Chain A
């Protein structure tokens, strides 16, 4: 008996491998002869599958992150949605941030088992839209009631070119956060945070404390290595009037324009005046959290976390800095429709539900997420005039990661360049020119 089963298994597996590897999208390239031979089985399988399809549409929804509070929110929205739409069943799945999530999506798309609805970051659009993994939402948005009410910048951030691909749910602006107590100690007005570069540098120098050569307290808590250096550079080059690290439409490299180099030089000047080195991969290392830095850039979650830690009650938010213009970096969590899903209409119904004003307000009440509809703006700012205005403003003027297919190469090149600047290996101009060269090579390869 075993003699029979084993070669059979081997043959089956070999067939499966050929089928699986020959075609990444999972369509069936089986030769016609074999197809005929297997017709009976296929028909039998279809008979089984059909009644399931007529009953309920099954969708899978994969969201990024594993926080219990957000999980509770998502599970309740999925339940609410299924109550209102009895013909749709949604299976909720989750996976942690960063590389894990990328891996999960990669394997899903490569094997044809990708989720139908995806909640993921703006940065993912650059690579996944050109691959066709996210579906274009224009035809649905045309008939959508929220189209005109939605925050304009949020729609812009969710578009590649002129086409809409993602509906924003979780805005994540980088906000200037400062420590009032340290301001007072250094003789600065705790209610007058810096508003432009000159003030930032001046305050920074006043706040730096040294013991011998060791910096024991810094002003602006600037990281010196890691994969988030590009966020810091982005913020400052955009304040200096540069559109982004690269131009999304013309594919022109902008990270070595004179204004961008000036921004990098400014950051270097801050570093030279005294910083505590930390790795931006690890936000836990940010010296601001332990009261060793008086200012830093962080998001609203950072603010809440810090406000419960060692610097509780001493910190406040400030409006984004202005140099040539007022700008900041704004990440964003989006709802995406899988490019592969056979149930586009049903997926849109769920996305529309999540983007509705009621759900938005529920997100604010349960998770503190900023609503992004003009009709909710006043109500939101009224809830906490001191900081909510700043948050809304930061989202509205925020620019995100460049949504280009080679985005990850841009980050790598810029991060490496900024590390070389921060470790005195190269001056800003040389480093950014090298980065621009690497990026240009990627663009030419596309």
Chain B
């Protein structure tokens, strides 16, 4: 018993130290967000700001229309995460557990989505969006208007395809004990019912993971919103952050302040999601 307690303390101390090391750059970022531009430019580095003031935060938020940027980012991220979770987990289940012709080759194709650098496919994808038929003033053949450019749909749709999500779910479901399927089969459950009654309820951890990772990647995405949006009212938070970059030099204090605020929703999301990473989720299904 005593030994266990000692181990617990060593663990806590060790992890605290490791956490501190990990957090150094983040702490520097946070401290910078409270400094004045003169302090940042000053040749001597001080970790702490001369005075703790949140002026940069109010200044940064009064540049541009931040409530709108946050609303846009939240809507895009929310929609992308919701559809990804729905579509990817069921596809992952199918690839992991079902036999169907062409499964291997279809999966390989899907993996290509991960391998092609997005910088290159961006232009063709953008063309498809701009020429999308019957949208944004386009006719049946996709000309005349701007298609899905500068719309929420255009921003979200390509993000829900999810090679990544399908692969993640597939790997997760492959880890599920086969005995689960057998039990379901004996009960006479079809594949749909097996998925919805056995797999899905046991997928909290993987859905939390996928939801978190997808949200972070969509929230932090810069390139796609950059090319897909034109107007101020469609800007996302990441695009808005570049506002502080000027011709020569960057207003680092305000930019860091805005970046801290921009990271906040993802921070909260992580705190919620990590609760699902606890021991023994599958056990109940096993017995």
Contacts and interface: CB of A to CB of B under 8 A. Distances in A.
Contacts of B67: none
Interface string A26-38: 1110100010001
Interface in A360-398: none
A309 interface: yes
Given A20-B127, A21-B127, A41 B248 contact: no
B146 interface: yes
Interface residues on B, range: 35 or more
Contacts of B139: 38, 41-42, 45
Given A283-B249, A309-B41, 7 more contacts: A21-B124, A21-B127, A28-B141, A38-B140, A103-B226, A283-B248, A308-B38
Interface stretch (B73-81, B85-93, B128-136, B276-284): B128-136
Minimum-distance CB pairs A-B, first 10: A20-B131, A309-B41, A16-B142, A111-B130, A290-B43, A20-B127, A96-B242, A16-B131, A67-B246, A301-B248
13 contacts: A13-B128, A13-B132, A16-B131, A28-B141, A67-B247, A91-B230, A91-B231, A103-B227, A111-B130, A172-B247, A299-B248, A301-B249, A310-B38
A252 interface: no
A207 B221 CA distance: 46
B126 A284 contact: no
B38 A309 contact: yes
A318 interface: no
A66 interface: yes
A233 B144 CA distance: 47
A63 to B, nearest CB: 12
A100 interface: yes
Contact of B247 (A38, A301, A309): A301
Interface residues on A, range: 35 or more
B46 to A, nearest CB: 13
Q: B interface, by DSSP: helix, strand, loop or mixed?
A: loop
Contacts of A21: 124, 127
Contacts of B250: 284
Interface in B129-161: 130-134, 137-144, 146, 149
A107 B63 contact: no
Contacts of B142: 15-16, 19-20
B245 interface: yes
A42 B143 CA distance: 10
Contacts of B149: 111, 113
Interface string B53-71: 0000000000110000000
Nearest to B132: A16
Contacts of B42: 290, 309-310
Interface in A272-327: 283-284, 289-292, 298-299, 301-302, 305, 308-310
B205 to A, nearest CB: 31
Interface of A: 12-13, 15-17, 19-21, 26-28, 30, 34, 38, 41-42, 45, 49, 60, 65-68, 91, 93, 95-97, 100, 103-104, 106-107, 110-113, 172, 283-284, 289-292, 298-299, 301-302, 305, 308-310
B123 interface: yes
B135 to A, nearest CB: 9
Contacts of A111: 126-127, 130-131, 149
A88 to B, nearest CB: 18
Contact of B133 (A12, A42, A299): A12
A284 to B, nearest CB: 6
B37 interface: yes
Contacts of B189: none
Given A93-B230, A100-B242, A308-B38, A19 B141 contact: yes
A107 B140 CA distance: 22
A16 B226 contact: no
Contacts of A15: 133, 140-142
A289 B41 contact: yes
A110 B123 contact: yes
Contacts of A107: 122-123, 126, 227
A26 B128 CA distance: 12
A169 to B, nearest CB: 13
B43 A65 contact: no
